[in-house]
Structure 1
Amino acid sequence: MSIRYIKEDALPAGAVQELGRPGGPRLRRIRAGNAGPFTFLGTNSYLLGEHEVTLLDPGPEDAAHRDAILRALGDERITRILVSHTHRDHSGGVAALQAATGAPSHGFGRHRVPEGGDQDFTPDHRLADGDSVAGEGWSLTALHTPGHCGTHLCFALEGEGVLFSGDHVMSWSTSIVSPPDGDMAEYMASLERLLRRDDRLYLPGHGAPLPDPMPFTRTMLEHRQRREEGVLEVLGRHGPATVEELVPFLYLGLDARLRPAAARSLLAHLLKLAGQGEAELAPDGAWRALPG
């Protein structure tokens, strides 16, 4: 079954979309203008609550996006900044918004490995799995969902069936899983964790809101499982191969700009298979399947 992505998002960069429903807390989305092959049309920032507002994901270091967030507030003020994970298109804007608002930042912690990611960001307050933050009429629970990034948090809006899914589940594309910080075993386990929930709406880090997310998330997990099966099938049929040699077999019609990202995710699959005793890396750099 193919994944039915949502490839359109009518929200212009810098504009504000009201997402709340009657009786629930006020919720707004603002999209940054940092479009690209890995960010789609841009990073989503969310404003939760009224008067004393919580900002979820300040987005990249970008003056236009910072100004759009501040403009959306009117006479309100940001009292808390939540960060889903330590990639610069999500945490890069923290410093400028803290300078403008004085609001403390909250996140899982520093980037897990000493390369890649946002090495400059350290949250003022660390959020562990299951920790809660609350405002007037709402409460969020942090869910540690590593895989795409070791520090990745989703945030569940309690009583509303809404999950801020960050880059773990996005409506427009699968997520890159790039070792050493990205981990395919963790990623798939985190997908399984979300499937044990019953959320009605995902609000992702990139792309449009995702209604009825459970079938979508289940298909994403099945997609990863099929990819794993495909890796073993290709290695079994064609013999040992490097990651780069495997990419054309497993990613047909791939945009050339995404080839390096595909190789990273494929490496993540191979490392997971090695951990399960189903594949191994030879000294010459080629991977081979192990007999089951």
Structure 2
Amino acid sequence: MPPKFDARFEPAYGVAVEVAPGVLRVTANNPSPFTFHGTNSYIVGRDTLAVIDPGPEDEAHFKTLVEAIAGRPVSHIFVSHTHRDHSPLATRLKAATGAVVLAEGPHRPARPLRIGETNPLDASADTEFRPDIALPDDSVITGDDWAIRTVLTPGHTANHAAFALEGTGILFSADHVMAWATSIVAPPDGAMADYMRSLDRLLERHDRVLLPGHGGPVTAPKTFIRGLKAHRKMRERAVLERLKQGDRTIKAVVEAIYRETDPRLHGAAGLSVLAHLEDLVARGLVVTEGAISIDGVYLPAS
């Protein structure tokens, strides 16, 4: 069955909130339909610190992070992915602290751009970001009193990573799994097949709690992730059903199956439907007249 989303969250702008022993959360004041109440940055450790997802280039958020760091050394800055609400402040925080910046890699599409295709997500991507160290899957970085393991979770973006705080059962899940809503999977930056495989990857783990990039914690990860998978399968069935009912464009499908969704999100919903269609075409369940695109014409495979 679909997950039970939880929109309860107090962002506490301008204040660092302890969410676990040795873990502080600082929420940027950048609310939107895509970021919920804002982007969560996390400070890990008690003496020498790590920062996970420093956040957007925002003066107030930078000041709150510095106040929460409180003069302690910061050795590492981890970046989950290169959307502009997560990675840009890494440059400034590195300059202020001397920390090493780590991430899976720079921004890139999940697949090659097709002939004539433009990327509607360019404005949201931090294309200037380059980590000091590229993190391979399952690598472990240690600090004075913490160890963080990289769990690569492509899907929302090609370079998306989650970070496990070893020995605690805590996984910083960024935008891959969030309690308040499903992650946006939007081509060409994201891919539905990757996203579903990454959900399976997390189901193989035994995390106790997920601390996401937006909103509050996921306290029953396996149950919630199974619900996310069911939700995506339900969306897939709905897309197929709309094609069987005669819809032939993404716009028509979105108007039918997202009719209760905030209209400001219909553009993102269209890209999500495109992600499903790319996957369905690859699996031979749907065919397209012309190129696979947001403006394409689709019909069920005979």
Which TM-score band (shorter chain)?
over 0.9
CA contact (8 A) 2:47 2:144 kept: no
Higher RCO by CA contacts (8 Å cutoff, separation 6 or greater): 2
Percent of residue pairs identical: 44
- Secondary structure of 1:210's partner? coil
Written as runs of structure 1 = structure 2, the 5 A alignment for 1:151-162 is 151-162=159-170
* Aligned: 1:150 with 2:158: yes
Distance in 1 between the 2:93 and 2:209 partners?
A: 27
Distance in 2 between the 1:152 and 1:91 partners?
A: 12
CA contact (8 A) 1:51 1:75 kept: no
Which of 258, 282, 288 lines up with 2:289 in the alignment?
282
Partner AA of 1:112 in structure 2: R
| The 10-residue stretch of structure 1 (169-178 or 107-116) with the greater mean CA deviation from structure 2 | 107-116
Partner AA of 1:260 in structure 2: G
Which of 96, 102, 108 lines up with 1:100 in the alignment?
96
Partner AA of 2:301 in structure 1: L
- Secondary structure of 2:245's partner? helix
* Aligned: 1:254 with 2:274: no
* Alignment match, 2:43: 47
* Aligned: 1:75 with 2:83: no
* Alignment match, 2:116: none
| The 10-residue stretch of structure 1 (222-231 or 105-114) with the greater mean CA deviation from structure 2 | 105-114
* Alignment match, 1:171: 179
* Alignment match, 1:271: 278
Partner AA of 2:206 in structure 1: D
Distance in 2 between the 1:130 and 1:14 partners?
A: 33
Q: Which blocks of at least 5 consecutive residues in structure 1 are unaligned?
A: none
TM-score, normalization by structure 1:
0.95
The structural deviation recorded for 1:219 is 0.3
CA contact (8 A) 2:76 2:102 kept: yes
The structural deviation recorded for 1:265 is 0.4
- Secondary structure of 2:107's partner? coil
Cα deviation, 1:228-252, whole Å, max 9, x if unaligned, reads: 11111111122x5111111122113
Distance in 2 between the 1:100 and 1:136 partners?
A: 20
Q: CA RMSD in A?
A: 1.4
CA contact (8 A) 1:85 1:151 kept: yes
The structural deviation recorded for 1:137 is 3.0
Distance in 2 between the 1:217 and 1:44 partners?
A: 20
The structural deviation recorded for 1:273 is 0.3
The structural deviation recorded for 1:285 is 2.4
Cα deviation, 1:96-146, whole Å, max 9, x if unaligned, reads: 111211211000111013952110100000001111111123211101100
Partner AA of 2:64 in structure 1: A
Distance in 2 between the 1:285 and 1:70 partners?
A: 48
